[in-house]
Amino acid sequence: MELTDKLLSSYVAFENRVDTNSDIHEIRSKAFQNFENLGFPTKKLEAWKYTSLNSVLKQDYSLFPNKENAIQLADVQKYFIHDIDTYKLVFIDGKYSSFLSESTHDTFDVCLMSAALTKPKYKAVIENYFNKIAKKDNLTSLNTAFANEGAYIYIPRNVEVEKPIQILNFTTGSEAATMLQPRNLIVVEQNAHVQIIERHQSLTSNPVLTNAVTEVFAAKDATVDIYKIQNDDTNASLVDNSYIEQKSNSIVSVHTFSFGGNITRNNLNFYQKGEHIDSILKGITILEGKQHVDHHTLVHHIEPNCESHQDYKGIYNERSTGVFNGKVVVDKEAQKTNAYQKSNNVLLSDKATINAKPQLEIFADDVKCSHGCTIGQLDDDALFYMQQRGIPEKEGKALLMFAFANTVLESVKIPEVKQRIAKIIANKLNVKIGFDL
């Protein structure tokens, strides 16, 4: 069965399981109609020019795995940041695992979307925030149509959450192929602070397609740091749609570490609705084989005196391909905007490709906007210099790549996350880390 047909019949089945007389379901129904009209994106769309989902959409995905699959903590512990205390929301094949999770309702909520969408206690927040900034494009609409499970995080005013929150989505591969559509909502009220670590992990090599949507609201003076770790199996594909709305004086940073997977598409959208906002978008991408990562970023500067900083580093080996499409829109009212964008790339093989495309749309006249893209190779002279001092070629190359990626790595605020990323990079480069930068 074609995936689109399958989605249609699944939607009918899905409606039998949820309350169809709710406002939420009205949103879902509209979204499903929207998806039916739009269909899956094709390369004819400008935004999908360099990324084709064709091969991924051909799989016979199971949309709602029936079996409850238990997994042992010991088998998956390596995917957690486990050397520090954290809250955890763990999903196995899209279903919440209370056994592996550590939620809370003490002074703030770290819990389930399915509960938030149905229980009266959360009604006000859901009404104010659910599906308010998510775009009405094809894949986001598809996610909204099936929106039911995911992470729900609500941090009230003046609360500084001391422990980071981990959101982990595991796929067990009990079905031949699995499609998941997690839906996350993160609301951070005035002067509150939270750190979030997000990871999608397939536990077998059976194909997986994840179409995730996360909405983040940062109120006045709020601080939100999000770390996305993408180091999945080479048969797992991910479309990660993130929508972030910021109010005055808030600071939101998103670090995206893309090291694995088959096709990964990151749609990262920031909307600045206030003054003196800082938006930080950083990424390290290291690919090999036929892996493909597409970073589509948007920062919409709507009001004056705001900043945005984008710094993406990419290292591409073998036949891997990368895309960086960074769009910055500065509205007429958004005077004194400072918007910086950098995309630096290293190609380690003749067959690797990077498509870099900055897009600046500036309607204000008193702004500072810069963008820079570089594509190069590792510096042979620097490598010889290191070898001459006794550092072997492989380690020398790794050191050069670490140094290249370090401007992004050094801005990670959680030391254990920084160490973990450094370790994943070292494994990827096949070196033992003998140096700290």
Partner 1 sequence: MLKIENLQASIDDKSILKGLNLEVKAGEVHAIMGPNGAGKSTLANIIAGKDDYEITEGTIELNGEDISELAPEERAHNGVFLSFQYPVEIPGVSVTNFIKTAINETRKAKGLEDMPAKDMLKMIREKSELLEIDRKFLSRSLNEGFSGGEKKRNEIFQMAMLEPKLAILDETDSGLDIDALRIVANGVNKLKSKDNAVIVITHYQRLLDYIVPDFVHVLHNGKIVKSGDASLAIELEAKGYDWIKQELV
Residues that bind partner 1 (CB under 8 A): 379, 381-382, 384-393, 395-396, 399-400, 402-404, 406-407, 434-437
Q: Where are the beta strands (DSSP E) in 78-164?
A: 87-92, 95-96, 109-112, 151-155
Q: Where are the beta strands (DSSP E) in 93-207?
A: 95-96, 109-112, 151-155, 165-171, 178-180, 183-188, 193-202
Q: How far is the CB of 284 from partner 1 (least distance, A)?
A: 13
Token pair of 254, please? 């998103």
The backbone torsions φ and ψ at residue 410, rounded to the nearest 5 degrees and listed phi first, read -70, -15
Question: What is the sign, positive or negative, of the torsion defined by CA atoms of 327, 352, 410, 234?
Answer: positive
Q: How far is the CB of 46 from partner 1 (least distance, A)?
A: 35
CB 370 within 8 A of CB 338: no
Q: Residue 415 or residue 434: which is nearer to partner 1 going by CB?
A: 434
Q: How far is the CB of 409 from partner 1 (least distance, A)?
A: 10
Q: Residue 149 or residue 395: which is nearer to partner 1 going by CB?
A: 395
What CA–CA distances, in Å, run from 291 to 127, 233, 264, 349, 358? 39, 10, 8, 14, 22
Give the DSSP letter of residue 81. -
Task: Give the helix ranges, DSSP H, for 287-377.
Answer: none
Q: How far is the CB of 352 from partner 1 (least distance, A)?
A: 22
Q: Residue 274 or residue 396: which is nearer to partner 1 going by CB?
A: 396
Residue with tokens 């880390």: 433
Q: How far is the CB of 346 from partner 1 (least distance, A)?
A: 13
Q: How far is the CB of 369 from partner 1 (least distance, A)?
A: 24
Among candidate residues 92, 236, 263, 264, the one with its CA nearest the CA of residue 177: 236
Token pair of 296, please? 């589509």
Token pair of 420, please? 């973990």
Single-letter amino acid, residue 81: I
How many other CB atoms are there within 10 angstroms of residue 192's CB atom?
Answer: 23
CB 211 within 8 A of CB 184: no
Q: Residue 59 or residue 344: which is nearer to partner 1 going by CB?
A: 344
Give the DSSP letter of residue 336. T
The bridge status of strand 321-330 relative to strand 87-92 is unpaired
Q: Residue 190 or residue 407: which is nearer to partner 1 going by CB?
A: 407
User: Phi/psi class of residue 10: alpha, beta or left (left: φ > 0; alpha: ψ in -120 to 50)?
Assistant: alpha
CB 332 within 8 A of CB 302: no
Q: How far is the CB of 281 from partner 1 (least distance, A)?
A: 20
Q: Residue 362 or residue 382: which is nearer to partner 1 going by CB?
A: 382
Q: How far is the CB of 419 from partner 1 (least distance, A)?
A: 16
Q: How far is the CB of 108 from partner 1 (least distance, A)?
A: 38
Q: Residue 34 or residue 406: which is nearer to partner 1 going by CB?
A: 406
Q: How far is the CB of 435 from partner 1 (least distance, A)?
A: 5
Q: Residue 63 or residue 400: which is nearer to partner 1 going by CB?
A: 400
Q: Residue 39 or residue 434: which is nearer to partner 1 going by CB?
A: 434
Task: Give the helix ranges, DSSP H, for 201-282.
Answer: none
Q: What share of the chain is helix, strand, coil (3-state, %, to 5)?
A: 25, 40, 40
Q: Residue 108 or residue 402: which is nearer to partner 1 going by CB?
A: 402
